[in-house]
Structure 1
């Protein structure tokens, strides 16, 4: 009985290979894991020595701007080095298809580096975005100073915040201008004064009738003359305005730092993307040439 023998020839160099996609996902995932791991280690090390956006306080004699510059430089270095390592690994390990020219192969290697960059951004978002999150929290904390100051002034206001009707209810039962307020407990007077100051913090100013009434309350409960009571009220209102202005200035400075930090982070990410592309191409070139890196080959 005759038999037939089928011989399948092995593919030769330059012959087209069967494949479903030019993307070598296992090597991309490997590059993402490596880039994320290196980023985590370096960021943890930087945080240990104070190079972190989360804390600019290095000492009473150190200008925070220098700490910010050092932290930004360190973040840039971490991003570039980690993405270059991940991109190089992917380019070096990527399976090359023999249907492409050298230039096309370089582009494919670089594209794999960009995939590592994009994947590591998603995986490392919690790590890399920690600086921005801290800056945003700083803005939120600074802006909340305004609310906190108003709440401190409000004192005994409703627990959920200042009751917008409480101040206007108080105005219904005030004594006429120039007369002595009706007898009441000091706690009542303090609560009313707090609501007047809180309303001024919300509206931005304390009206002249409110100032006059505050002076009457102070005079009736402290024994000060009307003139001295008015002086005391003006001093307190000036102090409140200064605190509010300082809080607003701090909020504006924090906002500017947030914008700058976001811009620098975006710019460094773009630079690191280009670095990942270049490193992946370099890894592909070393793969094709069987380049041996001293110290990483056989011992």
Structure 2
């Protein structure tokens, strides 16, 4: 009778192999980044469709711009935080557990994966945003080149209007009684007077006001009083336009500051959310929690 000797069975210690691997699970991180980016793009597209964007706060007729701005900021905060929390949760849930640490240390490692997802998605979003800005800059450069060619014929006249020397030259050869009929020269000189006032505090000297009133009277047939009133009205209108431009610049500057603060604040809050969500994903992984119980076992 032949006796068959039992063969030895090789036992592979999968636990030691897993524990000797890197603590950073890049597959789970990449999956979290992709998931967070997809959710963010979906929500941003939906918000843009209903007017929650930072391009034009007056795009919805009858709605105050400040209210649309607040709504857009709130929507942006929700999109960024919720998408990164979802990505962090997925990374924590998919991360391979190493059993060489305490439960608290495992939670920290899960949270660290959420932070890496947050960092990756933030950098990816910045790259996409900079790419969009670069494309817009190229379009603006092309438009500027076209506008430069179109404006070449009027560049000399604009330079004279801005040049302070032209204003003083006009004073040197200013006639006591303006000549009627030469409207082109009168218009050019009036433009240089207003340009000189804009270089200062915006005030047109009384002598220039009187001269402009005489020129208007000579070329329009108005009475001296009517001409003076028209000059005063134009000066007030120019000053109002200047104040409007200054106010628009102030609003744009403040909007930029608020937008930068909002971006920094939402980025910080989303980092905290991603860290917390990744820890929850790791806890649900260890507890074998199904998706239907995610929001019931906090």
TM-score normalised over the length of structure 1:
0.77
| CA offset digits 1:126-155 (Å, max 9, x no partner) | 67799xx8xxx9xxxxxxxxxxxxxxxxxx
Deviation at 1:59, TM superposition (A): 4.1
Alignment of 1:3-152 (within 5 A): 9-11=11-13, 13=15, 17-19=19-21, 21-57=22-58, 59-125=60-126
Structure 1 CA distance, aligned partners of 2:164 and 2:219? 20
Structure 1 residues not aligned, in runs of 5+: 138-155
Structure 1 CA distance, aligned partners of 2:33 and 2:17? 31
Structure 1 CA distance, aligned partners of 2:279 and 2:156? 62
Deviation at 1:116, TM superposition (A): 0.6
Structure 1 CA distance, aligned partners of 2:37 and 2:127? 11
Structure 1 CA distance, aligned partners of 2:17 and 2:40? 40
Match of 1:216 in 2: 214
Q: Structure 2 vs 1, CA of residues 31 and 248 (structure 1 numbering), >3 Å: closer, same or farther?
A: same
Match of 2:247 in 1: 249
Match of 2:224 in 1: 226
Q: Structure 2 vs 1, CA of residues 119 and 215 (structure 1 numbering), >3 Å: closer, same or farther?
A: same
Structure 2 CA distance, aligned partners of 1:46 and 1:67? 12
Q: Which is helix-richer, 1 or 2? A: 2
Contact 1:92 1:280 in 2 (8 A): yes
Deviation at 1:83, TM superposition (A): 0.5
| CA offset digits 1:202-233 (Å, max 9, x no partner) | 33322333323322321221233434322221
Match of 1:279 in 2: 277
Q: How many residues align?
A: 268
Q: Structure 2 vs 1, CA of residues 293 and 16 (structure 1 numbering), >3 Å: closer, same or farther?
A: closer
Q: Structure 2 vs 1, CA of residues 157 and 12 (structure 1 numbering), >3 Å: closer, same or farther?
A: closer
| CA offset digits 1:270-299 (Å, max 9, x no partner) | 111111001111111122222222399xxx
Structure 2 residues not aligned, in runs of 5+: 1-6, 138-152
Structure 2 CA distance, aligned partners of 1:36 and 1:291? 25
Contact 1:157 1:163 in 2 (8 A): no
Q: Structure 2 vs 1, CA of residues 160 and 80 (structure 1 numbering), >3 Å: closer, same or farther?
A: farther
Deviation at 1:58, TM superposition (A): 5.4
TM-score normalised over the length of structure 2:
0.77
Deviation at 1:119, TM superposition (A): 0.8
Structure 2 CA distance, aligned partners of 1:85 and 1:51? 22
Contact 1:15 1:98 in 2 (8 A): no
Contact 2:161 2:188 in 1 (8 A): no
Query: 2:155 aligns to what SS in structure 1?
Result: coil
Q: Structure 2 vs 1, CA of residues 47 and 59 (structure 1 numbering), >3 Å: closer, same or farther?
A: closer
